[in-house]
Structure 1
Amino acid sequence: MSAAIVAMTAADAGRCAELEAILFPGDGPWSAEAFHSELAHAYNHYFVARDESGTAIGYAGIALLGGGSDPESEVHTIGVDPVHQRRGLGSRLLDELLRVAETHGGPVFLEVRTDNESAIALYRREGFEILGTRRNYYQPSGADAYTMRRERRASEATGTVTKEQPA
């Protein structure tokens, strides 16, 4: 199955809200209005993954904050339809968010449920480290969250890829 990752539009908000209700039922899933609000801000960048029929099967969003000498980014959400999980789609969506963050500079932050082992493993593979725990972060479930950070990599800062030179 091949999925295209494209910029989210207002027309995607309803489908993304449907996926939120499936993925995060006890954690105050976002409504279509919440997605519309996120899309209205220029500092937010949202994407959807579409299957061959054009149906949104995943989504992700990031905010580019600060600027000048103190930029940072914050992953707001990533979700993949359960039918399409475990196929690398979450990784592809995260890669798209990190690509956007790299152009902005600075570290990238996110929160993730402490019991979401597959997401935590994905974030660790992409260089995120746990900074701490936020108790009762997700409501109304009361689930805890890890705050994670990924520092900007030197090659991202310079736009170059370093290669090992022969001795």
Structure 2
Amino acid sequence: MIIIRSMNNKTKSILITIMYFVITIIFLSSVGVWLPIMLDDYNLDHISNETYSAIAGNILTYSLSIFLVAIIDRILLLISKTSKYHNNIIEFFVTLILLILTSILVYHTLKDLRKMRYVAAIKFSFSVAIITWIYWLFVKFGSNKEDNFSSIGGSML
């Protein structure tokens, strides 16, 4: 407790954001991915084929919901912050590239799921999750308002 009191506000804000990210975004938000695995392991002493085949789809559902909300939040923030598109053209372009890259990874995940290549599908879907986490942190730390309890990048008003 003494350590936290001696920190400045910026350090506290970063620490709170990182704790929020780990607890809420990585752990609690991903409950739909890891809970079926844990229940199978507890009830059956192994992961069933149905659960294993659904892991990649569960990761995609989890990741895309966070990613798309973060993209919308960031674009709306950029538009409201500057009200001119050309001032943020590089960030819009990078966001578009990330969206295209994520779409390609989603396509490969779904293609591998259809061909029952579950390990490859899980790898592709986990790549989407990593991109999502990085982009969420970028949006959160790039927000002009500090709202550590917002589920995405902070309030816009």
TM-score normalized with structure 1 length: 0.24
More helix by share: 2
